[in-house]
């Protein structure tokens, strides 16, 4: 996500830069025009002209910005910010210019016929706004980034509203711009006439221009008020957070760059809270993403604050007593973790009668510990995935509309990240394994709870798709299938179970080794790297386990599954963990794979936390929330050593008997998860499977 937004920022920046350079060119040309128009123009005219052109330039920048990459949600808000900043700059320019004009008029009236005094304010008037305007798209301030990040949780409806409002504002702005342009032309004409025709000021015209300027200024004021209302409206909707001490129009922090530490902090803050207050008061704390999240006890909106200097016992020290004294009534209604008398901490839902009790609950139940940290991370991933999902769905919508309304045109071939490319490939026929499922499996999955529904399909990779007419799979099912397909998260299943699944999915219930390889790489993004390692493991498992039988075939050797041996292979005991049993009972099994999946995800991301490589693929919100829910229960049993992110094995084996009882229709279920210990000698190479990349794998076609 960060990479994506960074790219957008970069592209937007270049777009603006182009616009800026174009604006400079325009400015120079206009200057030449003015100069070539006659005699040496007066400085006053030059300054006014410059200011005018600067304003135009700023507006051009905003328009260029607006049209640079219209697909991105980030972009829209980014543009909103830049647009308003540009407007602010334009307004300042206008006021400045009007002051100059007023001075000029006064001087002309008072000292008629005299040459205007030279001013040296030409350079500042030229340079400062331009530099500010050019800086705007290049340097994303922390506040902007926060707004951008927060904005990414918008619903499509909100985005639509935002876009409409933005367009309305742009329309008004354009009208104002035209009006102002005309006015400026008049003014120029008038001044030139004054210069050429003599030293007699023409009062009526000047008064008319002054009146127009006044009207324009009022209009601009209204415009600004409208924008402020717009911002307030956004703020009210929770789309924007404006710091109390900050001007409504975020002009001031333009010169601030975004150092990585700030980005990290912002990311954490945004993903853990909905306010920028703490960012303002804690912007000194640079931090590492590997540090743990801290559950805040502050009564402010901020629920999670990252501060490496904070004490690690959960008693947060970052919030000030002053903030503590903020009215609870004000925050109780907007605390993201409290609503309707229920703690909104993911998976908690503890009933808190009032805000005070909620705070107590928050401090006691959600203090800094392994569980809260893990939940925080999961929440971050959830947000991340939702953002990606939103972007993907928007792209889909665009493609659908394009397809339905512009049938003849070819779909745009926009450059996509590898992950997105893979996602698109899923729609190809040979990758339709997960898009269609036998109806009975779909029905069975519907019976399960939300949590389990994700896991059933994630865990037991589906069999062949039925005919096209039988494709009744719901979107979330297909999406769930796509999770491991796209996210480089280690699947929570053993090699043996995966091999078995691959073989059983084949029409002949037999696969060659290479076909097994291909199945792995096709179904799991995780297995598209470190091929030597996992392929060795596959071979090792095939040889090791008696359940895999090598059969000499005409085409060579194929591998089959001895189901009896496979069932015999695992010890079947359900012991110990009461909460595990509870989980099994309450969730109709299949939940432990989720736990393992979650932990796998965490382990995967704990080293390069939230890299695009590991998380840069869309996945399901429900899976993520399921992971959260599962974590709430599962984390209770993990040891308290936070440094150990290796999942250990969830007791899938223990669940097996229960599962068989509850779902007798399904003989193939999950087994023990893959050991998710991330070994240190994992080579960082990206050894993509050649088979996967070179040939359109389709073992299903016999």
Residues near DNA, by CB under 7 A: 493-496, 512-514, 517, 530, 532-534, 536-537, 539-544, 550, 556-557, 559, 569-571, 573, 575-577, 580, 638-639, 644, 646-649, 651, 653-654, 671-675, 677, 679, 681-683, 690
Q: Which is nearer to DNA, 31 or 660 (CB)?
A: 660
Instruction: Give the residue with the Cβ less far from DNA, 472 or 532.
Output: 532
Q: In sequence order, what are the residues at sequence separation of 6 or more whose Cβ sits closer than 8 angstroms to the Cβ of residue 203? A: none
Q: Is the Cβ of residue 251 or residue 652 nearer to DNA in the bound state?
A: 652
How far is 262 from 145, CA to CA, in rounded Å? 10
Q: Shortest distance, CB of residue 559 to DNA, whole angstroms?
A: 7
The distance of closest approach from Cβ of residue 569 to DNA in the complex, given in angstroms and rounded to an integer, is 6
Nearest approach in angstroms of CB 499 to DNA is: 9
Tell me if 419 sits within 8 A of 559, measured CB to CB. Answer: no
**Residues 654, 109: Cα–Cα separation, whole Å:** 96
**Cα 302 to Cα 320: distance, rounded to the nearest angstrom:** 12
Exposure letters 164-201 (e unless 16+ CB within 10 A, then b):
ebbeebbeebeebbeebeebbeebbebbbebbeeeeee
Q: Nearest distance from residue 676's CB to DNA, in Å? A: 8
Q: Give the nearer residue to DNA in terms of CB position, either 477 or 580.
A: 580
CB of 437 to DNA, least distance (A): 25
With beta carbons less than 8 A apart as the criterion, state whether 201 and 112 touch. yes
Q: Closest separation between CB of residue 575 and DNA, Å?
A: 5
C-alpha–C-alpha distance, residues 596 and 674, integer Å: 8
370 within 8 A of 638, measured Cβ to Cβ:
yes
Q: What's the closest the beta carbon of residue 521 comes to DNA, in angstroms?
A: 12
Q: What minimum distance in Å lies between the beta carbon of 531 and DNA?
A: 9
Decide whether 256 or 646 has the Cβ nearer to DNA. Answer: 646
Q: For residues 355 and 349, is the Cβ–Cβ distance under 8 A? A: no
Q: Which is closer to DNA, CB of 241 or CB of 373?
A: 373
Exposure pattern of 296-328 as b/e (b: 16+ CB <10 Å)?
A: bbbbbbbbbbbbeebeeebebebbeeebeebeb
Question: By C-beta, is 78 or 653 nearer to DNA?
Answer: 653
Residue closer to DNA, measured from CB, 333 or 682:
682
Min CB(462)–DNA separation in Å = 20
- Give the separation between CA 578 and CA 555, rounded to whole angstroms: 50
Minimum Å gap between C-beta 662 and DNA is 20
Residue placing its CB nearer to DNA in the complex, 464 or 682: 682
Residue 436 or 627 with smaller CB distance to DNA: 627
Q: Which residues contact 529 (CB under 8 A, 6 or more apart)?
A: 488, 685, 686, 687, 688
CA-to-CA distance for 540 and 692, rounded, in angstroms?
Answer: 21
- Cβ distance to DNA smaller for residue 135 or 537: 537
> How far apart, in whole angstroms, are the C-alpha atoms of residue 587 and residue 373?
24
Q: Which is nearer to DNA, 44 or 671 (CB)?
A: 671
The least distance separating DNA from the CB of residue 544, rounded to whole angstroms, comes to 5
DSSP string spanning 105-158? HHHHHHTTTSPPPP-S-HHHHHHHHHHHHHHHHH---HHHHHHHHHHTT--HHH
Q: Rg for the chain (alpha carbons), in Å?
A: 32
Q: Are 358 and 352 in contact (CB under 8 A)?
A: yes
- Could you tell me which of 580, 637, 591 has the C-alpha nearest to residue 492? 591
DSSP annotation string for 650-679: --HHHHHHHHHHH-TT------SPPP----
Nearest approach in angstroms of CB 306 to DNA is 26
**Cβ neighbours of 632 (radius 10 Å):** 18
Closest approach, Cβ 497 to DNA, in A, equals 7
Q: How far apart are CA 375 and CA 381, in angstroms?
A: 10
Distance of closest approach, residue 246 Cβ to DNA, in angstroms: 46
- The 3-state DSSP class for residue 438 equals coil
Neighbours of 429 (CB within 10 A): 10
Q: Which is nearer to DNA, 365 or 687 (CB)?
A: 687
Helices (H), 366-494: 370-405, 418-425, 439-447, 450-459, 475-486
């Amino acid at each position: 996500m960060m990479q994506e937004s960074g790219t957008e920022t970069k592209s937007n920046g270049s777009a603006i830069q182009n616009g800026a350079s174009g604006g400079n060119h325009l400015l120079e040309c206009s200057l030449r025009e003015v100069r070539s128009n006659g005699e040496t123009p007066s400085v006053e005219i030059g300054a006014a002209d410059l200011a005018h052109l600067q304003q135009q330039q700023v507006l051009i920048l905003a328009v260029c910005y607006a049209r640079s990459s219209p697909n991105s949600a980030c972009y829209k808000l980014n543009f909103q910010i830049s647009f308003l900043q540009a407007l602010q700059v334009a307004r300042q320019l206008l006021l400045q210019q009007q002051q100059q004009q007023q001075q000029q008029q006064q001087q002309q009236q008072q000292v008629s016929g005299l040459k205007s005094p030279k001013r040296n304010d030409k350079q500042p008037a030229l340079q400062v706004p331009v530099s500010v305007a050019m800086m705007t798209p290049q340097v994303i301030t922390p506040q902007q980034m926060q707004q951008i990040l927060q904005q990414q949780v918008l619903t499509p409806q909100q985005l639509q509203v935002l876009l409409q409002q933005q367009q309305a504002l742009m329309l008004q702005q354009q009208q104002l711009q035209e009006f102002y342009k005309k006015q400026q032309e008049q003014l120029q004409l008038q001044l030139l006439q004054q210069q050429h025709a003599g030293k007699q000021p023409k009062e009526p015209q000047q008064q008319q221009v002054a009146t127009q300027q006044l009207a324009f200024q009022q209009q601009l004021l209204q415009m600004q008020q409208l924008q402020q209302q717009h911002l307030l409206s956004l703020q009210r909707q929770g789309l924007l957070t404006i710091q109390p001490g900050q001007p409504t129009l975020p002009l001031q922090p333009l010169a601030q760059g975004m150092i990585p530490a700030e980005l990290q902090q912002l990311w954490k803050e945004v993903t853990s809270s909905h306010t920028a207050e703490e960012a303002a008061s804690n912007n000194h704390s640079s931090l590492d993403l590997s540090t743990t999240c801290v559950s805040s006890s502050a009564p402010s909106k901020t629920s999670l604050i990252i501060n490496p200097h904070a004490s690690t016992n959960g008693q947060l020290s970052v919030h000030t007593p002053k903030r503590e004294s903020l009215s609870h009534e004000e925050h109780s209604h907007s605390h993201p973790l409290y609503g309707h008398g229920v703690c909104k901490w993911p998976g908690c839902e503890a009933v808190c009668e009032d805000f005070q009790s909620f705070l107590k609950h928050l401090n006691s139940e959600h203090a800094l510990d392994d569980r809260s940290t893990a939940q925080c991370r999961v929440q971050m991933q959830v947000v991340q995935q939702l953002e990606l999902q939103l972007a993907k769905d928007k792209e889909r919508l665009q493609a659908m509309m394009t397809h339905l309304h512009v049938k003849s045109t070819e779909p745009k071939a926009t450059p996509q990240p590898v992950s997105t490319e893979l996602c698109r490939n899923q729609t190809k026929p040979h990758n339709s394994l997960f898009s269609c499922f036998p109806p009975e499996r779909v029905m069975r999955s519907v019976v399960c709870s939300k949590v389990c529904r994700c896991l059933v399909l994630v865990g037991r990779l589906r069999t062949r798709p039925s005919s096209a007419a039988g494709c009744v799979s719901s979107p979330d099912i297909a999406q769930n299938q796509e999770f491991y397909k796209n996210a480089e998260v280690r699947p929570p299943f053993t090699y043996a179970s995966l091999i078995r699944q691959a073989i059983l999915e084949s029409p002949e219930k037999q696969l060659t080794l290479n076909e097994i390889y291909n199945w792995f790489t096709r179904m799991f993004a995780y297995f598209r790297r470190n091929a030597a390692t996992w392929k060795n493991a596959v071979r090792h498992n095939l040889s090791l386990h008696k359940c895999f039988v090598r059969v000499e075939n005409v085409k060579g050797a194929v591998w089959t599954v001895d189901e009896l041996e496979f069932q015999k292979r695992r010890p079947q005991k359900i012991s110990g963990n009461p909460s595990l049993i509870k989980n099994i009972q309450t969730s109709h099994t299949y939940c432990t794979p989720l736990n393992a999946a979650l932990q796998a995800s965490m382990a995967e991301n704990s080293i390069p936390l939230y890299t695009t490589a590991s998380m840069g693929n869309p996945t399901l919100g429900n899976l993520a929330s399921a992971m959260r829910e599962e974590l709430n229960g599962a984390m209770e049993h993990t040891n308290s050593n936070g440094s150990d992110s290796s999942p250990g094995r969830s007791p899938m084996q223990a669940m097996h008997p229960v599962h068989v009882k509850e779902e007798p229709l399904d003989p193939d279920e999950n087994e023990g998860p893959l050991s998710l210990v991330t070994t240190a000698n994992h080579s960082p190479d990206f050894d993509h499977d050649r088979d996967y990349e070179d040939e359109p794998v389709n073992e299903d076609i016999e």
